[in-house]
Chains A and B, each alone.
Chain A
Amino acid sequence: MWTERVARAALGMRRRAFEQTARQQGGYLSQVCSTAELLSTLYLRLLRLEESDAPLTPRPFPGHPSPRAPTPPAGALYHGPTAPHLDRLIVGCPAYSLAVYAALTQLSRLDGKALDSYRADGGSLELWAGAHSPGFTFAAGPLGATLGLAAGVAMGRRLRGENGRVWALLDASELRAGRAWEALGVLRARPLSNLAVLLNAPYEEGGAPHVDAFVRACAPWRVEEVDGHDPEALDRAAQRYDADGPLLIRANTHPCQGMLYLSLAGLPLDFVRFKSTRDRMNFEASLRAELYRPGLAGGER
C-alpha cells in the first residue's frame, strides 16, 4: 500500500539525515523531521513526474551560468523531463536542502552513497542548495522567495496552456519575510489555479500570528488544514482544486517528529548543533537507538 511506502521512505529520510548530521556534527535535522512525510507523499503519491534524467551520482559543481554558458538548472533534472501534463516541485527554503537530498536518495533518484558528498568541497549537494543541486530548480533563498518563484513558473505554464500543476513547498518561517507577502499580492493580481502551496507549519512556527494571518489572507481560495504527518489526509487535501485560485494546504507538523530525543534534549532546532562532545555523543547514541529500534519498518532503499 502506498501509505506504507511513504512511512518507510520517511523513516529512511530521517535515518539518512541523522547519519549526515552525526557525521558533520550539525545539520538541518528538525526540517527533515517535519517534512519527511510531506516530501515522501509528494514524490510517491502527489507529483506527476517521470524518472530522473540526471546521474545517480551527482556531478561536481558545474559553475554558475553565464551568457557564454547559459546552463539550465541541473538540479531540476532529478525530477525528470518536463512536459505539459507533468508537475513541478519548487522548494526554496535553504534549510530544506538536506531533506530534499535525503528524499531523492531514499527514492533512488540519487545513489545510496550520494549523501556522502553532502557539504563536500566542490560538490553539488551544498548546505544551501543552488539551482545545480539535486531537486532544486532555483537556488534556495533568500528566505521567502519560494512563493513568488513558483507563481512565476505557474504563470509561464498557464501562458503556454499546460495542465500540469506547480507545487510549492513553503516553510512557515518563510512567511516572516515580506517578500512572501508580496508574492501573495502577485497571486491576488493573478490567481493561478495551477499552483498548489504546501505550507509546512511546525508547531513552534505554526502557532505564530503571521502563519494564521497568511492562511486567512488565502481564504478567498481553497484552504485545507491537515496533519502533515498523515499521508492520507495530505492526499485528500491535494485532490481539491479551486478554479479561481491556488490551493493552500496548511500542514501542521512537529519539528521533532520521529526523533523525540531532539525535543527532550532541548537542542536548537533551527540548525542542530552541540555545545560539547558529551552532548554530541548523547545525541548519537540516543537517536541511533530511537531510529533503529526493533519494530520500526526498515527505511526503503
Chain B
Amino acid sequence: MSPPPPAAQTREHPHADAMSALAAERPEVVCVTCGPGARAALDRLGEPPPQGLIALPEGVEGAVAFCAGLAREGYRPFLHASAAALARGAYELIATQVAAPCLPVRLVGLDGGLLHEGGVAGQALEDLGLMCRLPNLVAAEGGDAADLLGGLRLLDDLSAPVYLRAPARHAPELFGDPPRVGTLRALSEGAEVLLVTSGVCTAEAQRLTAALKAARVSVTHLHAFVVSGAGPALREALAGGAYKLVVTMEAHLSPGPLAAAAAAVLAEGVDARALPTLVPLSVQQTFAQGGALPYLLRKYGLDAGALLAALEAALKRRVGVSAADLPPSPWGRAEGGWPV
C-alpha cells in the first residue's frame, strides 16, 4: 500500500504580506487594527504603509465608526479585529454606518469560524451568515494563501463594503493563482457529486478528493472565496448536470451561506437532468468548545473523515477509502502570539 500524500505546505502570515503590499501600492488604503491581538497579527507588515498603521485599542464599535468616518473622507480603511468582535459587537454599526451608506470599509475578521481557540467568546461561527444578510456588503473567506494574497486586491477593487474572514497567522498553500469574483474555483470535475467548500473546509475536502477519485467516486469540487451572492455561480454549476448530491461544507453555524444559497437555487428549480439531494455540512446549531482546529473540525463533523461518512451515507455505499489513505491536515494549532 502506498503511503498517503504529504500535507499541503503552509505559508506564514499571508494576510499581513498582502496587506503590506496593497497599502504600499495604494495610498488611499489605510491599515487599522483594533486591539492588541489584531495588532500582533499584523506584526509582519514590512515597510510601513504610506498612511501608517493605525493601531487602536480594544473597542470595536468605536473603531468601526472611526473607519466609516475615514471612508467618508475618501480613504479605504482595512479594519482588522477578531471576527467575533466584528460580527457580534459591531453589527449594528456595520449595518448602519458601513453597509447602508455603501462605504468602502474593508472589515477583516481574524480567525473566524473554528480557527479561534477561544471557545464561544472567540469563535465567530455566525459571522459570514450575518454579513451576507446585509445589502451591499460582500463577504469572503480566505481558504488558502493564494486567496489571501491575491484576494485582498480583488476585494479592494470593489466599490462595495467588504467583510473578509481571514486566518490571523498561517494558511495552507493549495492554489497557485488568485481568486476571481463571481466565479467558484474549480478544483476537480466529476459527474456524481457537486462538492462546494469554503475556508478551512476546502483543505479538508481536498484531503479526501484525491482518494475519492482513486475510488471512482466522481466529484466536482468547487471552492468559494466570495461566499455572498453565490447563487448564480451555483446555478451555473448545476445547469445541465446530473449530480446525485450537492454537498456544502463550511466552518459555520448551520445553515452556512453556501448551504443557504444552494438550498435557494434548488428550491427555485434548476435546469438539470436530475434534482440532487442537498447535504449541508456545518456546525449543527451549537456553540463550539475551544481547541485546536484539527480537533474541532473532527468534533463538529467538518474534517475529511466526516465528509467521507456523509458521502457514504448519502450515496448508500462504501467507497473504499480509509483514514490511512488521507494526507494530514495542513491546518494546525496557530503558533506564536495570543488569540486575536
Measured CB to CB, the residues of A under 8 A from B are 64-67, 70, 73, 90, 131, 137-139, 141-142, 144-145, 147-157, 159-160, 178-186, 188-190
In the complex, chain B residues whose CB is within 8 Å of the CB of A190: 54, 56
Is B38 an interface residue, CB under 8 A from the partner? no
Is B31 an interface residue, CB under 8 A from the partner? no
Is B92 an interface residue, CB under 8 A from the partner? yes
Q: Are B136 and A66 in contact (CB under 8 A)?
A: yes
Contacts A139-B97, A139-B100 given; indicate if A145 touches B65 (C-beta within 8 A). Answer: yes
Binds A, one of B66-74, B121-129, B275-283: B66-74
Q: Are B158 and A185 in contact (CB under 8 A)?
A: no
Is B9 an interface residue, CB under 8 A from the partner? no
Contacts A185-B58, A186-B62 given; indicate if A148 touches B101 (C-beta within 8 A). Answer: no
Shortest Cβ distance from B155 into chain A, in angstroms? Answer: 12
Centre residue among A64, A149, A157, A185 by max chain B CB count within 10 A: A149
In the complex, chain B residues whose CB is within 8 Å of the CB of A67: 102, 136, 158-160
Contacts A67-B158, A139-B97, A185-B56 given; indicate if A149 touches B65 (C-beta within 8 A). Answer: yes
Q: Are A156 and B73 in contact (CB under 8 A)?
A: yes
Is B96 an interface residue, CB under 8 A from the partner? yes
Given contacts A138-B68, A142-B93, A185-B62, 5 further A-B contacts (CB under 8 A): A156-B70, A179-B62, A182-B58, A183-B59, A185-B58
Centre residue among A66, A67, A188 by max chain B CB count within 10 A: A67
Which residue in B68, B73, B77, B100 is a CB contact (below 8 Å) of A157?
A: B73
Shortest Cβ distance from B70 into chain A, in angstroms? Answer: 4
Shortest Cβ distance from A144 into chain B, in angstroms? Answer: 8
Which residue in B56, B69, B92 is a CB contact (below 8 Å) of A156?
A: B69
Q: Are B61 and A159 in contact (CB under 8 A)?
A: no
In the complex, chain A residues whose CB is within 8 Å of the CB of B54: 155, 189-190
Is B135 an interface residue, CB under 8 A from the partner? yes
Centre residue among A90, A131, A180, A189 by max chain B CB count within 10 A: A189
Contacts A137-B72, A156-B75, A189-B57 given; indicate if A183 touches B101 (C-beta within 8 A). Answer: no
Q: Are B159 and A70 in contact (CB under 8 A)?
A: yes
In the complex, chain A residues whose CB is within 8 Å of the CB of B92: 142
Q: Are B101 and A182 in contact (CB under 8 A)?
A: no
Centre residue among A152, A159, A186, A190 by max chain B CB count within 10 A: A152
Is B51 an interface residue, CB under 8 A from the partner? yes
Q: Are A149 and B101 in contact (CB under 8 A)?
A: no
Could you pull out 29 A-B pairs where Cβ atoms are within 8 angstroms? A64-B100, A64-B101, A65-B100, A65-B101, A66-B102, A67-B158, A67-B159, A70-B159, A138-B69, A139-B96, A148-B61, A148-B64, A150-B69, A151-B69, A152-B67, A152-B69, A152-B70, A153-B70, A155-B69, A157-B73, A159-B73, A160-B73, A179-B61, A181-B62, A182-B63, A183-B66, A185-B58, A185-B59, A186-B63
- What separation, in Å, do the CA atoms of A19 and B73 have in the docked complex? 37
Q: Are A182 and B135 in contact (CB under 8 A)?
A: no
Q: Are B66 and A148 in contact (CB under 8 A)?
A: yes
- What separation, in Å, do the CA atoms of A108 and B30 have in the docked complex? 38
Is B168 an interface residue, CB under 8 A from the partner? no
Q: Are A149 and B59 in contact (CB under 8 A)?
A: no
Which residue in B51, B66, B102 is a CB contact (below 8 Å) of A186?
A: B66
Closest to B102 in A: A65
Closest to B73 in A: A156
In the complex, chain B residues whose CB is within 8 Å of the CB of A137: 72
Where chain B touches its partner, the secondary structure class is: mixed
Task: Find residues 3-50 in chain B having any chain A CB closer than 8 Å to their own CB.
Answer: 30
Is B60 an interface residue, CB under 8 A from the partner? yes
Closest to B100 in A: A64
- What separation, in Å, do the CA atoms of A139 and B71 have in the docked complex? 14
Q: Are B65 and A183 in contact (CB under 8 A)?
A: yes
Q: How big is chain B's contact interface, by range?
A: 35 or more
Is B55 an interface residue, CB under 8 A from the partner? yes
Centre residue among B66, B97, B135 by max chain A CB count within 10 A: B66
In the complex, chain B residues whose CB is within 8 Å of the CB of A131: 101
In the complex, chain A residues whose CB is within 8 Å of the CB of B66: 148-149, 151-152, 155, 183, 186
Closest to A90 in B: B69
Which residue in B58, B67, B77, B96 is a CB contact (below 8 Å) of A142?
A: B96
In the complex, chain B residues whose CB is within 8 Å of the CB of A179: 59, 61-62, 65, 93
Shortest Cβ distance from A142 into chain B, in angstroms? Answer: 5
- What separation, in Å, do the CA atoms of A156 and B105 have in the docked complex? 13
Which residue in B56, B61, B69 is a CB contact (below 8 Å) of A154?
A: B69
- What separation, in Å, do the CA atoms of A64 and B161 have in the docked complex? 14
In the complex, chain A residues whose CB is within 8 Å of the CB of B65: 145, 147-149, 151-152, 179, 183
Contacts A67-B102, A179-B65 given; indicate if A186 touches B93 (C-beta within 8 A). Answer: no
Q: Are A188 and B57 in contact (CB under 8 A)?
A: yes
Centre residue among A131, A185, A186, A188 by max chain B CB count within 10 A: A186
Task: Find residues 98-130 in chain B having any chain A CB closer than 8 Å to their own CB.
Answer: 100-102
- What separation, in Å, do the CA atoms of A137 and B93 have in the docked complex? 15
In the complex, chain A residues whose CB is within 8 Å of the CB of B57: 185-186, 188-189
Q: Are A66 and B69 in contact (CB under 8 A)?
A: no
Shortest Cβ distance from B91 into chain A, in angstroms? Answer: 10
Shortest Cβ distance from A204 into chain B, in angstroms? Answer: 25
In the complex, chain B residues whose CB is within 8 Å of the CB of A150: 69
Q: Are B62 and A159 in contact (CB under 8 A)?
A: no
